[in-house]
Amino acid sequence: MKAVRLLEYGGQLVFNDVPTPPIARDEILVKIKSTAVNHLDLVEASGTARQILPIDLPWIPGHEFSGVVEQIGSDVAACEPGDAVFGTTTGMGAYAEYLAVKAAAIARKPSNLSFEEAASVPVASQTAWQGIFTHGHLEKGQTILIHGGAGAVGAYAVQLASHAGATVIATASGDDEAYLNSIGASRVIDYREAQFEKVLREKVDVVFDLIGGDTQKRSFLVLKEGGHLVAATQPVSQEETARHRVSGAMMRLAPSADVLGRIARLLEEGTIRPDVATVYALQDAAQAWKDIAGNLPGVHGMSPSGPGTARRRSHGKIVLRVAWREHEIRGRAYEIYLARGAQPGCELEDWLQAERELIAE
Ligand SMILES: NC(=O)c1ccc[n+]([C@@H]2O[C@H](COP(=O)([O-])OP(=O)(O)OC[C@H]3O[C@@H](n4cnc5c(N)ncnc54)[C@H](OP(=O)(O)O)[C@@H]3O)[C@@H](O)[C@H]2O)c1
């Protein structure tokens, strides 16, 4: 199969042939349709955090995917070949044509989402869910302040908190105010123009911090006593939490098929929606990383102002689409024809057409 790989820390991404991964008894082999880019991909590739986030080189990045089940291990009962699924990887490896993954980390793809939209969902939405409900204990009637509300994680946090009956205040660029209001924020504070602790009149029950640094430090000033500070980017000072009589901790996403299944239902009924900013072909992953590096100065050796680096739209995920080549589509259609095609009215051309439609979805 083809895959995008990193051969050395801080090196270039290469796109070439690698063996298709074997599956264990509790795993499934997914034919990947799309994967999405996360900050973590670049941080791990840079090696700057190798003591806490080591990777085995050569390494295939990619934490999330959408695709079709190709093969199942002998212990897997939850899905069968042909099912459209999405989920998080057990380790990494989704920048590839095939992925071996634990069946426990996936859910059925919402039928109203394209494969590109579905690939953008698992990491950001589950981080938001666990940040505001599992760690933030957010309840109906409470007020939450979400820093970075227009980002990939923030937009799900805004939608989920609003759906849960909380009042949502978000910090973001002023350009994103209308977008944030449209997905459930009742107030948007432009972080470039105002200091949130100076303009907020009332204290909040929960702060979900997707920014860190000084933003996190100032967040203690707006939390009610007994409130929760949930940080996604850096540890929280326990001295400060004690001083302000609040709780605070850094969260780490713990992917769950149960949570993803609940999110899939909310997507399917239209209660929440995904946001895809840009779609690249898988082999153009290096360009996608250049786009995202604008938000991550110094990571993977890329300067935000370097050549080819555009300031990307401030909301929505970058998705990589696996493009299947014509001879592969034909080869696969022929295999299916040989295995199942000897039925009246089902010629090779019909299987080819069905395979093309599946690829195009
Ligand atoms: N702990 C975990 O398990 C976990 C899981 C997933 C993600 N994360 C982390 O969570 C963070 C957010 O991820 P993401 O994917 O949502 O990022 P993202 O899509 O790049 O969004 C970041 C957003 O923050 C905004 N922003 C920048 N500086 C800000 C400030 N000072 N105040 C308010 N908003 C500001 C940006 O707007 P402009 O571009 O307009 O400035 C952008 O909309 C990342 O650091 C990521 O690594 C952690």
99-138 pLDDT, tens per residue? 999 988 899 999 999 999 999 999 999 999 999 999 999 9
Residue that the structure tokens 């899905």 belong to: 79
Q: Which atom of ligand 1 is nearest to the CA of 312?
A: 39
Ligand 1 near 348 CB (within 6 A): no
Percent with pLDDT over 90 in the chain: 79
pTM for the full predicted model: 0.89
The closest residue, in CA terms, to atom 4 on ligand 1 is 232
Ligand 1 near 146 CB (within 6 A): no
Q: DSSP string covering 119-173, please? A: HTSHHHHHHHHIIIIIIT---TT-EEEEETTTSHHHHHHHHHHHHTT-EEEEEE-
Query: Which of residues 344 and 186 earns the better pLDDT score?
Result: 186
Helix (H, G, I), strand (E, B) or coil at 75: coil
Residue 308 pLDDT: 40
Instruction: Return d(Cα 346, Cα 339) in angstroms, integer.
Output: 12
Helix 122-129, helix 257-268: angle, nearest 10? 100
Residue 216 pLDDT: 98
Mean predicted confidence (pLDDT) in 170-185: 97
Task: State the chain's mean pLDDT as an integer.
Answer: 90
Q: Is the pLDDT of residue 37 over 50?
A: yes
Which range (45-49, 159-163, 311-315, 356-360) has the least confidence? 311-315
Query: How far away, in angstroms, is 210 Cα from ligand 1 center?
Result: 5
Ligand 1 near 211 CB (within 6 A): yes
Residue 137 pLDDT: 98
Percent with pLDDT over 70 in the chain: 86
Query: Which of residues 262 and 342 earns the better pLDDT score?
Result: 262
Query: How far away, in angstroms, is 83 Cα from ligand 1 center?
Result: 32
Query: How far away, in angstroms, is 126 Cα from ligand 1 center?
Result: 15
Amino acid at 117: E
Q: What are phi and psi of 283, to 5 degrees?
A: -70, -10
Residue that the structure tokens 């806490």 belong to: 52
pLDDT tens, residue by residue, 199-228: 999 999 999 999 999 999 999 999 999 999
Q: Which atom of ligand 1 is nearest to the CA of 147?
A: 33
Cβ atoms of 104 and 26 within 8 Å: the answer is: yes
Instruction: Return d(Cα 229, Cα 171) in angstroms, integer.
Output: 15
Query: Distance between terminal CA atoms of the chain?
Result: 21
Ligand 1 near 185 CB (within 6 A): no
pLDDT tens, residue by residue, 262-320: 999 999 999 999 999 999 999 999 999 998 886 655 555 444 334 444 444 568 999 99
Instruction: Return d(Cα 218, Cα 290) in angstroms, integer.
Output: 31
Ligand 1 near 3 CB (within 6 A): no
Residue 356 pLDDT: 66
Amino acid at 188: V
Neighbours of 192 (CB within 10 A): 9
Query: Which of residues 37 and 352 earns the better pLDDT score?
Result: 37
Residue 328 pLDDT: 64
The token pair at 134 is: 């599992």
The token pair at 88 is: 């998080």
Instruction: Return d(Cα 44, Cα 180) in angstroms, integer.
Output: 30
Max mean pLDDT among 78-92, 227-241, 342-356 falls in 227-241
Residue 342 pLDDT: 61
Residue 19 pLDDT: 96
The closest residue, in CA terms, to atom 18 on ligand 1 is 151
